[in-house]
Structure 1
Amino acid sequence: MGLIEEIVAMRGGSGHSGRLLGEFRRTALLVPLSEGEGSGLMSGWQGGVRWIYAFTDEAALARFAQQRGAAHREWEYLAILGARLVDEVIPTIDGPTGVAVDVADEDGSMLFPPVVGIVPDAVAVDTGDAA
């Protein structure tokens, strides 16, 4: 199964967290870039956590753009493996940071929070050692 199928299985109650995380880590995700000065990876804040927006394919990114009323513009994005995103990028960001996958898809989205087992322990919020 691919990441989308693992998300569906998890949301449906028949998934396995280890398989889901494995697929997330192996999947090339599309991460839109912010516009303007100081641009970087597009993210939002919820519950004291920065969530990097990531998408499983261009169609999912297009639905996100449509939902934001910005489908008319060209969206630049970075293609990056989920493993590299959580292991190498997230540790360089100040504060708790997780990944929100396919956030425009009500029944197909999934959050990968900044906790042990998903992000490196040094930046996980559930160790007491988070930066």
Structure 2
Amino acid sequence: MGLAGEISATRDGSVHSGRLLGEFRRTALLVPLSEGDDGGLMSGWQGGVRWIYAFTDEEALARFAVARGAGAGAREWEYLSILGARLVDAVIPTVDGPTGVAVDVADEDGSMLFPPVVGIVPDAQAVDAPSAGTDRAEAV
């Protein structure tokens, strides 16, 4: 079914969240790089949480680019292909502050947030863990 299909099924109420999370962890996501000189991953802030933008395919990434005002003749967007598991287990621990993953955010009916909570991100980065946020590295 793939991650996009699991998101759709979850939104319809026909899939358990554990199955969705498993598919997220197994999926190679496309994460655009920021335009600045820092070479970091593109992200945004909402509700005190940094959300790393990730996409299930190039078409979903293109819809996001268009929604951000990148039309015909706009620059090419560089991106990293990374497994969801590696994103939450290896990348998020290097970011300062609460960080989650926003998947396919330009698709109103196909987007999904994976927040920085126990069971999604490592406990040390989870905002709902008993000792949340005590040993965070600086943003890369």
Shorter-chain TM range is over 0.9
What does residue 103 of structure 2 align with?
101
1: CA distance, partners of 2:81 / 2:39: 16
Q: Does 1:46 align with 2:50?
A: no
Q: Deviations over 1:78-113 (max 9, x none)?
A: 000000000000000000000000000000000000
2: CA distance, partners of 1:24 / 1:127: 21
What does residue 110 of structure 1 align with?
112
Percent identity between matched residues is: 83
Q: Deviations over 1:51-87 (max 9, x none)?
A: 0000000000000000001142100000000000000
Q: Does 1:28 align with 2:28?
A: yes
* Aligned Cα root-mean-square deviation (Å): 0.8
Deviation >3 Å, runs of 4+? none
Unaligned segments of structure 2, at least 5 residues? 134-140
2: CA distance, partners of 1:90 / 1:47: 17
In the superposition, the TM-score normalised over structure 1's length comes to 0.97
Q: Deviations over 1:37-57 (max 9, x none)?
A: 223000000000000000000
Question: Amino acid of the residue matched to residue 10 of structure 2?
Answer: M
2: CA distance, partners of 1:124 / 1:89: 14
Q: Does 1:8 align with 2:5?
A: no
SS of residue in 2 equivalent to 1:104: coil
In the superposition, the TM-score normalised over structure 2's length comes to 0.91
What does residue 126 of structure 2 align with?
124
2: CA distance, partners of 1:35 / 1:20: 31
